Amino acid sequence: MSSRAERGISWMTVNYNKINLRSKLRDSSSSRSVRTPRNDIRLNMPLIQTKNLNKEYCTDEVKTPVLFDIDLEINSGEFVSIMGPSGSGKSTLMHILGFLDRLTSGQYLFESADVTGFDDKKLARIRNEKIGFVFQSFNLLPRTTVLENVKLPLQYRPGLKEKEKNEMAESALKAVGLEHRMNFFSNQLSGGEKQRVAIARALVTDPTLIFADEPTGNLDSKSGLQIMEILDKLNKAGKTIILVTHETNTASFAHRIIALKDGRIVSDRKVDNRNQFNGTLK
Q: How far apart are CB 138 and another protein at their closest, in Å?
A: 10
- Quick check: 199 and 176 in contact, CB under 8 A? yes
- Facing residues of 75 across strands? 46
Select from 179, 180, 183, 197 the least CA-distant residue to 140. 197
Q: Side chain identity at 158, as an amino acid letter?
A: P
Residue number, 157 or 246, with CB nearest to another protein: 157
Contact status, residue 123 vs residue 97, Cβ threshold 8 Å: no
Query: What is the nearest approach in angstroms of another protein to the Cβ of residue 56?
Result: 14
DSSP string for residues in 118-165: --HHHHHHHHHHHEEEE-TT--PPTTSBHHHHHHHHHHTSTT--HHHH
Phi-psi category of residue 242: left, alpha or beta, with phi > 0 → left and psi -120 to 50 → alpha: beta
Smallest distance from another protein to CB 237, Å? 20
CB closer to another protein out of 125 and 233: 125
Q: Of 8 and 153, which CB lies nearer to another protein in the complex structure?
A: 153
Task: Name the residue nearer to another protein (CB basis): 99 or 225.
Answer: 99
CB nearer another protein, residue 170 or residue 213: 213
CB nearer to another protein: give 139 or 188. Answer: 139
Shortest distance in whole angstroms from residue 37 CB to another protein: 36
Residue 13 CB, shortest distance to another protein, in Å, is 26
To another protein, the closest distance from the beta carbon of 42 in angstroms equals: 28
Separation between Cα atoms, residue 85 and residue 222, nearest integer Å: 23
**Chain positions contacting another protein, by CB under 8 A:** 95, 98, 100-101, 120-121, 124-125, 127-129, 133, 135, 139, 141-144, 152-153, 155-157, 201, 205
Contact 52, 38 (CB under 8 A): no
In contact, 69 and 85? CB cutoff 8 Å: no
Distance in angstroms (rounded) separating the CA atoms of residues 132 and 13: 19
